Chains A and B, each alone.
Chain A
Amino acid sequence: GENVEQHPSTLSVQEGDSAVIKCTYSDSASNYFPWYKQELGKRPQLIIDIRSNVGEKKDQRIAVTLNKTAKHFSLHITETQPEDSAVYFCAASGMDSNYQLIWGAGTKLIIKP
């Protein structure tokens, strides 16, 4: 079945710098890739998603890129701010998972002042 690996598990960056989180997936037929942000003790919230017919998508300081050949997708956060501190999860959905989301283990992003 589908497997999603997420790296790094913890990422510490200086405020104002960029952060990049990468996920790899195993099912070449996967077609939907969302990213969620979860603050401590809160619910996961969707921040951006991308489908397999698109290579890149941007929303203000957040962007996601997809490389279908290499089967990986990445979250890019520019000009990081203290409120970006949270755990970020990637997920993938495809035929192998009966079109249900398979989630990465999460990346704890720490923004240093």
Chain B
Amino acid sequence: NAGVTQTPKFQVLKTGQSMTLQCAQDMNHNSMYWYRQDPGMGLRLIYYSASEGTTDKGEVPNGYNVSRLNKREFSLRLESAAPSQTSVYFCASSELEVQPQHFGDGTRLSIL
């Protein structure tokens, strides 16, 4: 089992460009999450999907959109990238909400 797979692993963008971060899990989990991690800070929730067909905003949703494509896949889109969005992005999944979360390896995103 691969667990949670994120692509790409690294990306450099110019300000104003758009891109989509992909996440897929093979654990048949219902809930999926997108976090960002900045130096010296804990993880901050961007968006989550408690179950297939639902998405909700987290602490820091501005500048992002998400799509829960099916039970396995949950993508994060930056429509117009800004330098403040330079970060490491982690996708996670859990069987249900308020259950242990399993993380992907992260995407290191730099916006110039």
Contacts and interface: CB of A to CB of B under 8 A. Distances in A.
Tell me the interface secondary structure of chain A in the complex: strand
Interface in A59-113: 89, 91, 93, 98-106
Interface in A36-50: 42-46, 49
B42 A105 contact: yes
Given A44-B90, A93-B98, A100 B103 contact: no
- Which size class do A's interface residues fall under? 20 to 34
A103 B43 contact: yes
A34 B40 contact: no
Contact of A89 (B43, B59, B102, B105): B43
B56 interface: yes
Contacts of A89: 42-43
Given A31-B98, A32-B98, A99-B98, A44 B41 contact: no
Contacts of A6: 42
A6 B97 CA distance: 23
Contacts, number: 47
A104 B59 CA distance: 14
A49 B45 contact: no
Given A93-B98, A103-B42, A105-B40, A43 B90 contact: yes
Given A44-B90, A44-B103, A100-B48, 18 more contacts: A4-B42, A34-B101, A42-B105, A43-B103, A43-B104, A43-B106, A44-B43, A46-B100, A46-B101, A46-B102, A49-B100, A100-B58, A103-B43, A103-B44, A104-B42, A105-B40, A105-B42, A106-B41
9 contacts: A4-B42, A42-B105, A44-B90, A46-B100, A46-B101, A89-B43, A105-B40, A105-B42, A106-B41
